[in-house]
Amino acid sequence: MTYEFITVNPQAQKFVTLIQLNRPGELNALNRQLMTELSSALRELDADEQVRVIVLTGNEKAFAAGADIKEMADATAIDMVNRDQFATWDLIRKTKKPIIAAVSGFVLGGGCELMMNCDLIVASETARIGQPEIKIGVMPGAGGTQRLTRSVGKALAMEMVLTGRFITAEEALRAGLVNRVVPVEFYLKEALMWAQEIAQLSPVAVKLAKEAVLQAFNTSLDEGLLLERKNFYLCFASEDQKEGMKAFVEKRKPEFTGK
């Protein structure tokens, strides 16, 4: 499939696909077409055995400056209901393979929410992260009050959501919102290197582990532990578990196939 607002490099590295948001003139504002393209690309990649890890990036100036304000400005509440943008956001959220966000510059509103949908986040030192919706008379609508609060805690989430203040990459790192901060010339390289490292592991175990960690946000401890246990047992149905443990015993590097 060809896309207008994203570019997809299916084999940026072996088993690693790079998706780049590509509306630079609008600071990668997330219009509906871009989100539809992104969700369909992710669905395809999730089903492709040659892909084990996905890296999602923008450009140095902006990961994404939020949902497209111009597209929303005249909408009524019923237009918003009928557009049902959550359908595409839900598809993104349901991606089973790990997604690493490589962010730089503006990471705002829906851009911050999209970043928080990713599993690991590498930020450039120049990243400015915020939920500025309050300044345009609305509030976060795609997880900014929930995921952000779970991630950084009430104090900082309230401050960001109620004032719209942008935080620096360093602040985001201290608050636990991003995993790593590196100089701007390295943020994408770092994310790709990390992707390559995870792509060497068992894709079955990686997927099951991602599912289990995310479940921690949705369930009680007992239910979460139950899912963890079942996924742990399920690993033993894979050839990768046999290979991984055998390789350890034989003191060699394992070759995982995802079977």
- Using the contact rule CB under 6 A, the part of the chain among 65-73, 115-123, 174-182, 201-209 near ligand DAK is 65-73
240-254 as b/e: b if 16+ CB within 10 A: bbebbeeeeeeeeeb
* Size of the chain in residues: 259
Answer yes or no: 64 catalytic.
Answer: no
Q: Name the β-bridge partners of 105.
A: 62
Number of residue whose CB is nearest ligand DAK: 109
In the set 12, 62, 67, 169, the catalytic residue is: 67
Q: What is the dihedral of CA 237, 239, 240, 241, to 10 degrees?
A: 50
**Min dist. Cβ of residue 86 to ligand DAK (A):** 5
87 touching ligand DAK, by CB under 6 A = no
Q: What share of the chain is helix, strand, coil (3-state, %, to 5)?
A: 50, 20, 35
In the set 37, 113, 171, 190, the catalytic residue is: 113
- Using the contact rule CB under 6 A, the part of the chain among 4-12, 49-57, 81-89, 246-254 near ligand DAK is 81-89
106 touching ligand DAK, by CB under 6 A = yes
Rounded to whole angstroms, the Cα distance separating 30 from 21 reads: 9
Site residues (vs ligand DAK, CB under 6 A)? 26-27, 29, 65-70, 85-86, 89, 106, 108-110, 113, 132-133, 136, 141-142
